Amino acid sequence: MTNMSKQGGGAQLTRQAKLIIWDEAPMAKRHIIETVDRSFRDIMDKDVPFGGKIMVFGGDFRQVLPVVTKSTKAETVNASLVRSYLWSLMERIQLSTNMRARTNQTFSDFLLRIGNGEENTIKDNLIALPKQMTVQQSGDINPEESLVLEIFPELE
């Protein structure tokens, strides 16, 4: 359970909410999401998932998993939302168009190959980024400054 009081401002805001969006949910450990579920059930006095609140969990489950330090692949997957008791209760909707990559088909295809596990690896499951996706260090400038100058060329 969280330490949120049923009479506190957070609980009041939760009761008023019609929809809660949790972006990048694949990065969250399932135990955190399960804690929110139990807390919302308590706050709403309803024994249904998330106390009856509509939850939208966004993110690409093919690309990102929670960070579990010094863990095996199995332990990392076990920490993810797909291993939660809540997963079978969720309706999954797949979006078919990557809005960020729709103007760059090469980038879009690259992301899909990574997400589908089809991109070639170079060593220890590492993927080599294409040269056009990297920022080269400029002269004597440190790498962070090179990145900032590439992204914000007019920044003074």
The pTM for the full model equals: 0.68
pLDDT per position as a tens digit, 32-47 = 999 999 999 999 999 9
* Cα–Cα distance measured from residue 57 to residue 34, given in angstroms and rounded to the nearest whole number: 13
Q: Is the pLDDT of residue 98 over 80?
A: no
pLDDT confidence of residue 147 = 85
pLDDT confidence of residue 56 = 96
Using the Cα atoms of residue 112, residue 128, residue 59 and residue 36 in order, give the sign of their dihedral. Answer: positive
* Token digits of residue 83: 């291993």
Q: Are the C-beta atoms of 39 and 2 separated by less than 8 Å?
A: yes
Q: What's the start-to-end Cα distance of the chain, in Å?
A: 48
Domain boundaries, the chain: 1-94, 100-156
* Cα–Cα distance measured from residue 107 to residue 115, given in angstroms and rounded to the nearest whole number: 12
Q: What is the mean pLDDT of residues 53-73?
A: 87
